[in-house]
Amino acid sequence: MSVTSKEKPKAAGVGRPVSRAAARSRRQSLDASRRSRRGRTPWFTYVVLTIAVLLALIPLYWMFVVGSNDSSAVSRFPPALVPGGNFGHNLDVVDSKVPFGRSLANSAIVSGAVAVLQMFFCSLAGFAFAKLRFRGRRLLFLMVVATMALPSQLGLVPMYMIMSKLDWIDTYWALIVPGAVSAFGVFWMRQVVIGTIPDELIDAAKSDGCSTFRIYRSIVVPNIRGSAAVFGLFAAMTTWNDFLWPLVVLNTPDMFTSQVAIQQLRTQYTIDYSTVMTASVLATLPLLLLFVAAGKQLVAGIMEGAVKG
Amino acid sequence: MTISLAWKKPAPRGRIGRVSSAWERFTPYVYIAPFFLLFLAFGLGPLIFTGWVSLHDWQLLGGENRYVGLQNYGDMLSDPRFWKALRNTVAIFVLSTVPGMGIALALASMLNNSSLRAKTFWRMALLVPNVTPLVTVTLVFASIFGRDYGPVTWILRSLHLPTVDWGASAMTAQTVIAIMVIWRWTGYNTLIYLAAMQAVPTAMYDCAEIDGAGRWTTFTQVTLPMIRPTILFTVVTSTVGGLQVFTEPLLFTSPTGGNNGQGLTVTLLIYGQAFNSFKFGYASAIAVALLFIILALALVNYAMARLIRSS
Amino acid sequence: MSLAITALGGTALAACSSGSGSSSSSSHVTLNMWGFADLSKQLVKQYEQAHPGVKIQTKISDYDASHQTLLTALASGKGPDIAQIAIDYMGEFVAHASVFTDLRKLGASSLKSQYLAWRWNGGVASDGSIVGIPTDVGGMAIAYRTDLFAKAGLPTDPAAVGALWPTWEDYVATGKKYVAATGRKFIDSGKAVFRAESNQGDLKYVDSSGKPIYDTNPQIRKSWRDGVAAIDAGLSANVATYTPQWDAAVANGTVATLIVPAWMLAQVQQQAPGTKGKWNIAVLPGKVGNDGGSFLAIPKNAPHAQQAYDFIKWLEAPAQQLALFKESNTFPTIPALYTDPAVTRFTSPFFSNAPVGKLYIASVQGMKPHPVGSQDRIVESQFENGLGRVDQGDQSGAKSWSQVMSDVKRELQG
């Protein structure tokens, strides 16, 4: 099988009769290179990855440096690069202004719920759009894609109106329910299902008399697990970082999510950068822990089978 | 790739089958119903509301909402701010999406190496920019690209090059904004590409090997075609997301996009018109226009990306 | 996963019953206050102890975000009990007085005489309804570096320095001398001059009937000219306030003077601790000025309007404004307090023991009330952008002025 399938093969080797000895030696060199391909990672790769990771992590590190010094560290040049001893003091300040631990819990609850709900609803809907035939499928999907393209800022006003009519202001519902569905999620999950599960399999299951739910549960779910997990992680991250909607819809300090809690650290007219950075470190920590915990699972999940041509 | 086939052959159909097949016709709707109800309320609802508002001179704080038909759209077409914002948005989009996807592909192919050590660390570290708090991102990038102090200025000075006031002109401000967007979102795309690359069977690489293909040829002739659907997917999502870029220009320039609107994007204009100038109807018209522009561009980009040779 | 759902369900149920805004039984009332500046914890505790059954909870956020949040809530007819609205934003909200409770109905007319006239007027709508009660003022003065002035051969005594610049032209001339002598910058930006001077007249962007006069008002034209003159004379360091670049410029002595309200002094102290004792404060040209301050308003459908009003009235009463001043140096808007020793004797060691209290109070007492238009903030930002362009070297003063005129015209129409 040639790779450049649509053209005449330029390299020698395919389509031409070949002696047995030549074939054997070619196979041996293939094995050798396969071994070397697998056993060696070029140093170049590590260099590039290190640079990329440094670029990714330095701002976070700097945040910690400022959070453990005082506010003037923000504008210092050359930039402050060494952590100071002020973190504990700043923690006390943060604690005295806002129930920060509680806000982390709120963020965790909301982000976790949204992630789970999105994984469920979006995979269900994605599966339906991908594999089930029903009238209006094209139109409905087009509408889903259209909502992806509408800037979300203006949606604040109608959403608040809905929440106020449902009397959900200042509740978890207001944060979780709108976040439970995501047009992007449906788009993604549909793509994953199309790419991962061949029609023939579904047809075979159907002709065996499987109910749709059976198909979903037994065929679809196990095979999109990896992508769904990645998607769930992204959903959790996005919800955790969201600050405009929670800011609008929450009232009680005990209900604040971490991003809203950080805002409460503003003093009259000035910003104590150092305290804000300390709080930001605290607010980011749970996500980092999530990365560490989920990372291994994710890597395994990704490798198990995802979007394919 | 193995697919788990974990079901038992059920009892033979009969009367049960007939009933269930009638039910089966409704199940697709049942499946999308929960999603669709929520979608109707929180996705489609605001969309329709925005469209409706765009046809009015809408007063957010009481007063009459006068129906004006397409006047808002007419005003928009003759508004130089709209065209400036559109130009800026497309410029930032091109500057950020094209290199961003390229970098993501490169990183993904480097991570797609079974002998790589500390796999989890590299992958998760690349996601950190996406969870770095915005206040930190603002301060860091403002400092790095600060006019008087800042590492970039320092480097330029030591190379005896003229220093740049990065926030001042359209080109430089948009470059920095594009860098911010690339920095923040590359990790996402990298993981998505990586997932796709890992699904490519090793046999394909073996065949490339046999044919004597080098690394680059393998990449363009094997990897890319095999992950083409994923690339198409990210092209569409990057177009949709990239044309709505909001936070980065807001943080790096100002709510008005800077002194001369150098960082003004369409979403920034929409937000400013709605919440600063209290022109909710006008802002809604711009939002609807943006929606169509995004859909059109997404289609165009999708068509262009399909030119990647398919396997 | 099932465990998570159960936990979620349980918490959700609990959340449904607990945090639903200003729920109240017959004697328990929770007042929601939204704003951009924190309330004094001490004062809140004091009030809650004196009024058992009343609880006050606040939600503060970024300056702009807090007003946008308020707008979003008011648009659906449901907002907080108390809204803190900045003086710059008040014009827009007062223009829509119908979404607020008219405080005359709760007896606010009797409070009018307590406060500075021009501050009180900012909270009154054109139909006479009282929308908000004033909180604090910022005042305006010039903080200058005594050590750098000495190096440039300028006087350092505050009275002498104040005498250097009775008018803004004199200020620019002094700046030129400084720049010639030291080669450094004199002020942070050209728009600082504009901001200060444009507030000093009888009129600003609209006349008393609400007609826009931004293009003809001589006060505005002159302020613009002086701002441009400062930039053209090389005085401006072109750094924007509230940025680390500004903090750095202040810390490094790149700028020798700052036209600042009282509350900005804290920023200088925080970001430039190394300059302690090197500053002093003098009167600004034109002698009067103000930046900052807010109003407390009660939205129309506030669940507990009466209790909210009682709290606001108490919070902004002379005794509490004085207490707040003592606690956090927030300047009162009550003239009766201006002779209180706590205010008149207030000095700042960081600023060479300058009589901060006296200076800033004097600057607000002479302020002439000018008509406030509902779109003043937007108009002002066009002017500031314009001076920013001149500062950057993008446009000449004249060209920038033309662009400002057309930008404002477009903002005001439709």
Candidate from B115, B140, B274 with C-beta closest to A40: B115
Q: What is the mean pLDDT of residues C21-33?
A: 71
Q: Which of C302, C319, C339 corresponds to the end of one domain?
A: C339
Q: Would you state the pLDDT for residue C198?
A: 93
Longest dimension (CA), chain A: 85
Candidate from B57, B62, B79 with C-beta closest to C96: B62
Contacts with B, C 83-102, CB within 8 Å: 92-93, 96, 98-99
Tokens of C300: 């129309």
Determine how many CB atoms are found less than 10 A away from the CB of residue B125. Answer: 23
Q: Would you state the pLDDT for residue A8?
A: 40
3-class SS string, B204-254 = HHHHHHHCCCCHHHHHHHHHHHHCHHHHHHHHHHHHHHHCCCCHHHHHHCC
Candidate from A76, A109, A248 with C-beta closest to C73: A248
Q: Would you state the pLDDT for residue A41?
A: 67
% of chain A with per-residue pLDDT over 70: 83
Check whether residue C367 and residue C269 sit in a common domain.
Answer: yes
Q: What is the pLDDT of residues A123-173, one digit of tens each?
A: 888 888 888 888 888 888 888 888 888 888 888 889 999 998 999 999 999
Asked if B259's CB is within 8 angstroms of C98's CB, the reply is: no
Determine how many CB atoms are found less than 10 A away from the CB of residue A15. Answer: 9
pLDDT at A238 over 50: yes
Asked if A167's CB is within 8 angstroms of C20's CB, the reply is: yes
Q: What is the pLDDT of residues B118-156, one digit of tens each?
A: 888 888 899 899 888 888 888 888 888 888 877 888 888
3-state secondary structure of C142: strand
What is the rounded distance in angstroms from the CA atom of residue B183 to the CA atom of residue B103? 10
Asked if C62's CB is within 8 angstroms of A263's CB, the reply is: yes
- Residues of the domain holding C233: 141-289+348-412
Q: Would you state the pLDDT for residue C389?
A: 94
The minimum CA-CA distance between A276 and chain C, rounded to whole Å, is 12
Q: Which of C413, C402, C396 shows the shortest CA–CA distance to C215?
A: C402
Instruction: Look at A305 and A214; give whichever has higher pLDDT.
Output: A214
Predicted confidence band of residue C330 (pLDDT cuts 50, 70, 90): confident
User: Does residue C44 lie in a domain region?
Assistant: yes
Determine how many CB atoms are found less than 10 A away from the CB of residue A216. Answer: 20
Check whether residue C33 and residue C71 sit in a common domain.
Answer: yes
Counting Cβ atoms within 10 Å, is residue C322 exposed (0-12), middle (13-18) or buried (19+)? middle
pLDDT at C16 over 50: no
Query: A204 — contact with chain B (CB < 8 Å)?
Result: no
Which chain C residue shows the shortest CA-CA distance from A246?
Answer: C69
Residues on chain A touching C80 (C-beta within 8 angstroms): 251
- Residues of chain A whose beta carbon is less than 8 angstroms from a beta carbon of chain C are 70-72, 74-77, 97, 109, 112-113, 116, 156-157, 160-161, 164, 167, 169-173, 176, 244, 247-248, 250-256, 260, 263-264, 266-272
Residues on chain B touching A155 (C-beta within 8 angstroms): 42, 46, 50
Query: Taking chain C, what is the end-to-end CA distance rounded to the nearest angstrom?
Result: 54
Candidate from A70, A74, A263 with C-beta closest to C247: A74
Which chain C residue shows the shortest CA-CA distance from A177?
Answer: C12
Interface test with A, best of B111, B132, B237 (most A CBs within 10 A): B132
- Strands C82-86 vs C29-35: parallel, antiparallel or unpaired: parallel
Q: Which of A194, A202, A185 shows the shortest CA–CA distance to A121?
A: A185
Is-contact B137 B223, C-beta < 8 A? Answer: no
The minimum CA-CA distance between C73 and chain A, rounded to whole Å, is 7
Interface test with A, best of C32, C60, C87 (most A CBs within 10 A): C60
Determine how many CB atoms are found less than 10 A away from the CB of residue A213. Answer: 12
pLDDT at A185 over 70: yes
The CATH number assigned to the domain with range A99-304 reads 1.10.3720.10
Residues on chain B touching A234 (C-beta within 8 angstroms): 188
The minimum CA-CA distance between A169 and chain B, rounded to whole Å, is 15
Query: Taking chain B, what is the end-to-end CA distance rounded to the nearest angstrom?
Result: 17
Residues on chain A touching C21 (C-beta within 8 angstroms): 169-170, 251-252
pLDDT at B9 over 60: no
What is the rounded distance in angstroms from the CA atom of residue C382 to the CA atom of residue C396? 15
Tokens of C408: 């404002």
CA-to-CA separations, C7 to A110, A239, A240, C2, C10, in angstroms, rounded? 12, 19, 19, 9, 5
Residues on chain A touching C36 (C-beta within 8 angstroms): 266
Q: Would you state the pLDDT for residue C84?
A: 96
pLDDT at A29 over 60: yes
Residues on chain C touching B281 (C-beta within 8 angstroms): none
Helices (H) and strands (E) in chain C, counts: 18, 10
Question: In B54-133, which ranges are continuous DSSP H helix?
Answer: 71-77, 80-111, 119-125, 128-131
Check whether residue C396 and residue C307 sit in a common domain.
Answer: no
Helix, strand and coil in chain C, % to nearest 5: 50, 15, 35
What is the rounded distance in angstroms from the CA atom of residue A308 to the CA atom of residue B256? 43
Predicted confidence band of residue B23 (pLDDT cuts 50, 70, 90): low
Q: What is the pLDDT of residues A186-221, one digit of tens each?
A: 988 888 888 778 888 888 888 887 777 778 888 888
pLDDT at A299 over 80: no
Candidate from A72, A170, A267 with C-beta closest to C251: A72
Q: Would you state the pLDDT for residue B309?
A: 60
Q: What is the mean pLDDT of residues A224-249?
A: 88
Lowest mean pLDDT among B8-17, B281-290, C310-319: B8-17
Check whether residue C307 and residue C208 sit in a common domain.
Answer: no
Which chain B residue shows the shortest CA-CA distance from C245?
Answer: B146
Q: Would you state the pLDDT for residue A139?
A: 87
Query: A191 — contact with chain B (CB < 8 Å)?
Result: yes
Helices (H) and strands (E) in chain B, counts: 16, 2
ipTM of the complex: 0.84
Q: Which of C339, C370, C402 corresponds to the end of one domain?
A: C339
DSSP string for residues in A181-237: --HHHHHHHHHHHHHHS-HHHHHHHHHTT--HHHHIIIIIHHHHHHHHHHHHHHHHH
Asked if B259's CB is within 8 angstroms of C388's CB, the reply is: yes
User: Does residue C310 lie in a domain region?
Assistant: yes
Asked if B136's CB is within 8 angstroms of A277's CB, the reply is: yes
Across chain A, mean pLDDT equals 81
Is-contact B64 B277, C-beta < 8 A? Answer: no
Number of B to C CB contacts under 8 A, please give it: 66
Q: Would you state the pLDDT for residue A2?
A: 36
What is the rounded distance in angstroms from the CA atom of residue A180 to the CA atom of residue A117? 5
Candidate from A113, A263, A270 with C-beta closest to C60: A263
What is the rounded distance in angstroms from the CA atom of residue A88 to the CA atom of residue A91? 5
Check whether residue C259 and residue C147 sit in a common domain.
Answer: yes
Instruction: Look at B200 and A61; give whichever has higher pLDDT.
Output: A61
Candidate from A5, A127, A307 with C-beta closest to B229: A307
Number of A to C CB contacts under 8 A, please give it: 129
% of chain C with per-residue pLDDT over 90: 72
What is the rounded distance in angstroms from the CA atom of residue B203 to the CA atom of residue A45? 23
Is-contact C191 C227, C-beta < 8 A? Answer: yes
What is the rounded distance in angstroms from the CA atom of residue B221 to the CA atom of residue B283? 46
Q: Which of C304, C320, C339 corresponds to the end of one domain?
A: C339
Going by CATH, does the domain composed of B75-133+169-305 fall within 1.10.3720.10?
A: yes
Q: What is the pLDDT of residues C304-318, one digit of tens each?
A: 999 999 999 999 999
Give the CATH number, domain containing residue C327: 3.40.190.10
**Backbone region of residue C242 per phi and psi (left: phi > 0; alpha: psi in -120 to 50; beta: other values):** left
Query: Taking chain A, what is the end-to-end CA distance rounded to the nearest angstrom?
Result: 18
Q: What is the mean pLDDT of residues C330-334?
A: 92
Tokens of C348: 């700042």
Is-contact C83 C99, C-beta < 8 A? Answer: no
Q: Would you state the pLDDT for residue C6?
A: 41
Predicted confidence band of residue A224 (pLDDT cuts 50, 70, 90): confident
b/e per residue A228-243 (b: at least 16 CB within 10 A) = bbbbbbbbbbbbbbbb
User: Does residue C167 lie in a domain region?
Assistant: yes
Predicted confidence band of residue A7 (pLDDT cuts 50, 70, 90): very low
With the C-alpha atoms ordered C14, C17, C21, C26, is the resulting torsion angle positive or negative? negative
Check whether residue C323 and residue C382 sit in a common domain.
Answer: no
Is-contact B251 B138, C-beta < 8 A? Answer: yes
Check whether residue C266 and residue C193 sit in a common domain.
Answer: yes
**Phi and psi, residue C33, nearest 5°:** -120, 130
Q: Would you state the pLDDT for residue B25?
A: 67
Q: What is the mean pLDDT of residues C235-246?
A: 88
Residues on chain C touching B279 (C-beta within 8 angstroms): 414
Longest dimension (CA), chain C: 77
Sheet strand arrangement including C279-282? C257-260, C141-145, C279-282
Across chain C, mean pLDDT equals 89
Q: Which of B84, B95, B83 shows the shortest CA–CA distance to B259?
A: B84
Check whether residue C162 and residue C296 sit in a common domain.
Answer: no
Instruction: Look at C15 and B144; give whichever has higher pLDDT.
Output: B144
Q: What is the mean pLDDT of residues A76-101?
A: 83
Containing C15, the helix (H) or strand (E) segment is: helix C2-18
Residues on chain B touching C92 (C-beta within 8 angstroms): 278
The residue behind tokens 């023991």 is C353
Is-contact C47 C41, C-beta < 8 A? Answer: no
Residues on chain C touching A74 (C-beta within 8 angstroms): 244, 247, 271
Q: Would you state the pLDDT for residue A3?
A: 36
Determine how many CB atoms are found less than 10 A away from the CB of residue B21. Answer: 12
Q: Would you state the pLDDT for residue A142?
A: 86
Q: Would you state the pLDDT for residue A300?
A: 60
Q: What is the pLDDT of residues C267-278, one digit of tens each?
A: 898 888 899 999
**CB within 8 A of C25, min separation 6: which ones?**
none
Check whether residue C124 and residue C66 sit in a common domain.
Answer: yes
b/e per residue A42-51 (b: at least 16 CB within 10 A) = eeebeeebee
Which chain C residue shows the shortest CA-CA distance from A106?
Answer: C11
Domain count along chain C: 2
- Write the DSSP symbol of residue C29: E
Q: Would you state the pLDDT for residue B4?
A: 42
Asked if A247's CB is within 8 angstroms of C69's CB, the reply is: yes
- Strands C331-332 vs C54-60: parallel, antiparallel or unpaired: unpaired
pTM of model > 0.90: no
HSE of C260 in the Cβ direction (CA atoms, 13 Å)?
26
Which chain A residue shows the shortest CA-CA distance from C275?
Answer: A72
Q: Which of A63-72, A212-221, B93-102 has the highest mean pLDDT?
A: B93-102
Cis peptide before C355 (omega within 30 of 0): no
